[in-house]
A and B are shown apart, each in its own frame.
Chain A
Amino acid sequence: MTAWVLGLVLAAYAPQQAGSALLDPPREARVQALGKQLRCPMCQGLSIADSNSSAARAQMDKVRELVAAGKTDQQIRDYFTSRYGEWALLEPPASGMNLLVWLLPLALLVGGGLAIARTMRRPAVVASVPASKPEDRPPADDPYLEAVRAELRR
């Protein structure tokens, strides 16, 4: 385990190579935009465009190569997901199981909003003590009630 961690640390000292030659500005902008969407395999939550790791540089080279070859953005994303799975995408697509993660907060928000709206539309309840029915009242000659009254009068 220690050696494995050490290896990861040493990975930072891998001989750095410069990235491949930049494309013309519009296509390079596409490369950078795609690079922002792809997860760096050696880093924690960084995109390959933002990472300095050698693996990220190699992947950016690949993005550049595919853009230069005339591939569409979707074809390039597919290239990476066919190798690294949806894990490669920093923003997973809203389909299949992922759809739940996208829709559930929305459903909760709508549900909560409806509940609040319904509560606010309901007429306010007047804080009054309901008049008790005559049969609920204790009889005037209730000995217990008389005892309590006598205690209170003392």
Chain B
Amino acid sequence: MTRRGLWIGLSLAAVTAVLLFVLAKGFGRDPHEVPFQLRGKPAPDFTLKRLDTGAPVKLSDLRGKPIVINFWASWCGPCKMEHPVLAMSAKRFGQEFQFYGVVFEDTEENARAFAGSPDPSFPQLVDERSRMAVDYGVTGVPETYFIDAQGVLRDKVAAPIDPRTMMEKLAALKQPAGPVSEVVR
């Protein structure tokens, strides 16, 4: 092989290697999956009113017990499917964890009709104009966020949650956290 041929071959091999690397990295993940950037960071604070009483609920006042926050809407079919899992978990583990629902892009009447029957198992909060949802990086409903006793966002489930996943996430929430990342503005 001539020296020129060797150079051309090496250049083509280098370009192919770079292309393969880029493609492997790109194909290795779901392009529609939105990454969870807030993992390990302090949960953005919020003050929302309760759907039933209208009383304000402030996240920073809830420290000391892990929190499960579920974003839902009455127009969302999968939210209806997963609701029994949340209601049962709230009843069974309500002593160890605080469960809150956050109404996403819905009217209060519709949300009340949904959450009020058969029983309001856990408090529902109204997120007017979805400000808090955007702060948390919500991309749709249902989504469930897990905040530890120190107010650090530990995990999220961006799909209807099933009993097994709920148990796993609650167990993980009781484990000590790693170092907290920088504060989210």
A residues near B (Cβ < 8 Å) are 3-4, 6-8, 10-11, 13-15, 17, 20, 41-42, 54-55, 58-59, 61-62, 65, 79, 81-85, 87, 97, 100-101, 104, 107-108, 111
Query: Would you give the shortest CB distance from A78 to chain B, in whole angstroms?
Result: 8
Interface centre among A20, A58, A65 (most CB of B within 10 A): A58
A84 touches B105 (CB 8 A): no
B75 touches A3 (CB 8 A): no
Chain A residues near B130: list those with CB within 8 A: 54-55, 58, 61
Given A4-B78, A58-B129, A58-B133, A85-B106 contact (CB < 8 Å) = no
Query: How many residues belonging to B are interface residues under a CB distance threshold of 8 Å?
Result: 39
| B60 in the interface (beta carbon within 8 A) | no
A59 to B159, alpha carbons, bound, how many Å? 21
B38 touches A83 (CB 8 A): yes
Given A14-B105, A85-B34, A100-B81 contact (CB < 8 Å) = no
B residues near A (Cβ < 8 Å) are 11, 15, 18-19, 21-22, 25, 34-35, 37-38, 73, 75-79, 81, 104-107, 110, 129-131, 133-141, 159-160, 184-185
A134 to B76, alpha carbons, bound, how many Å? 91
- Closest A residue to B130 by beta carbon equals A58
A101 to B25, alpha carbons, bound, how many Å? 12
Chain B residues near A17: list those with CB within 8 A: 105, 129
